Structure 1
Amino acid sequence: MTNIPTKTILVTTGATSPFPSLLSAALSAPFLATVQSLGYSNLRVQYGDCEKLFRALSTAALPSCGSIELTGFGFTDDLRTEVTHADLVISHAGSGSILDALRFQKRLVVVANSALMDNHQKELAEELGGVGYLVEGFVENLHEAVTKAESFEFKHFPASGSEKFCSILDEEVGLNLD
């Protein structure tokens, strides 16, 4: 008997602000059909404080899951371990989550939470997407972003890139003091 390699997607919705629309998109029938067709076998969802919604959506999604193993968790002190086990990370556009995925050189789709004040996440996703570190996705077409990420030539984030990341982040939030 041969072991079939598994492919895992990690979806992070954030720890400080709920992101129910990303949760809904990641458990939608079009998304599940797409990831199954791309050979993913595990979908791991960090649902934050939206456990009730996750339970309801995952129950409704079971018929669409096919061979995909769906698991979820609210919060963890060790999100980096979750990231290291993922083949693809779909993340809210929180800077900490983005940086973790980039440091581990993971394929990364970032979805900004447009419900947040001043939409600073979108600016960060656009900037890092524009230089090739990630694919920017949207809740309306998350399945398309995952398809794009499969063939996208991601630029590797430099090991010493924290200075560059910080300067981009500072500029985007208006802290560039030059």
Structure 2
Amino acid sequence: MKTVFVTVGTTKFPKLVDTITTLDVIKTLKNLGYDNVQIQTGKDFHKPNIDPLLKNVTVNLQEQSWAVKLLDFDVTINYNTYFDNFEEQIRKADLVISHAGAGSCLDVLRLKKPLIVVTNEDLMDNHQTELAEQLQKDKHLFFCNCNTLVDTLHKDFINLVPHPQPDKNLFSNYLDKCCGFVQ
């Protein structure tokens, strides 16, 4: 069972959530071997908006989450507003599809998971695109928008370069040097 974890962060990105459940994306994910999709929907999520082209669907409400089974594709989609074990969801995933927030991007890259960042073109000041462009230029991830997600899913993730781990002593070493404690 291969899993995709989708996160929109703490705000709303309904266009990404809806894009994941389009016929084209589901077919592509299934053809790539994915049969489990975990979606962290963010606030104000009310219910799944399944593409009407997807037939033979069962939907179950389970407390604060939704479980959707696409019987024709043998794909399960679980919707949760938030996950208490966010990092664990990333660890269990074979692929992460995320909004372009810096925190989410760095969390995924730190755990060395293949990452597709989907920029939210509806934001007024789309500063997140700059971060996504730079991280793609550095070959750490691929970025796209909702309209180009299917094409991006077909990219070769083998050639992505792991993001360097942070140097936890960098700042303290800099201060030591500035204060004259070390040469």
Alpha carbons of 1:50 and 1:32: their partners in 2 closer, same or farther (altered >3 Å)? farther
Q: Deviations over 1:17-62 (max 9, x none)?
A: x11111111111000000000001111111112422x423278746
- Give the aligned partner of residue 4 of structure 2: 9
- Give the aligned partner of residue 126 of structure 2: 119
Inter-partner Cα distance in structure 2 for 1:161 and 1:28:
41
Inter-partner Cα distance in structure 1 for 2:160 and 2:111:
12
Count of aligned pairs between the two proteins: 156
Matched, 1:56 2:49: yes
Secondary structure of the equivalent of 1:56? coil
Given candidates 100, 107, 121, the residue that maps to 2:114 is: 107
Give the deviation of 1:63 after TM superposition.
3.9
- Give the aligned partner of residue 87 of structure 1: 94
Given candidates 66, 78, 85, the residue that maps to 1:71 is: 78
Higher gyration radius (CA): 2
The aligned runs of 1:26-65 (5 Å cut-off) are 26-52=20-46, 54-57=47-50, 61=54, 63=56, 65=70
Code of the aligned partner of 1:82: Q
Code of the aligned partner of 2:48: R
More displaced stretch, 92-101 vs 56-65: 56-65
Matched, 1:143 2:138: no
Unmatched 5+ residue regions in structure 1? 1-5, 165-178
Q: Which protein is richer in helix relative to its size? A: 1
TM, length-normalised to structure 1 = 0.79
- Give the aligned partner of residue 3 of structure 1: none
Inter-partner Cα distance in structure 1 for 2:22 and 2:44:
16
Secondary structure of the equivalent of 2:49? helix
- Give the aligned partner of residue 179 of structure 2: none
Q: Deviations over 1:113-170 (max 9, x none)?
A: 122231011111001011100001210021111111x444110111226899xxxxxx
Secondary structure of the equivalent of 1:10? strand
- Give the aligned partner of residue 132 of structure 1: 139
Inter-partner Cα distance in structure 1 for 2:131 and 2:166:
19
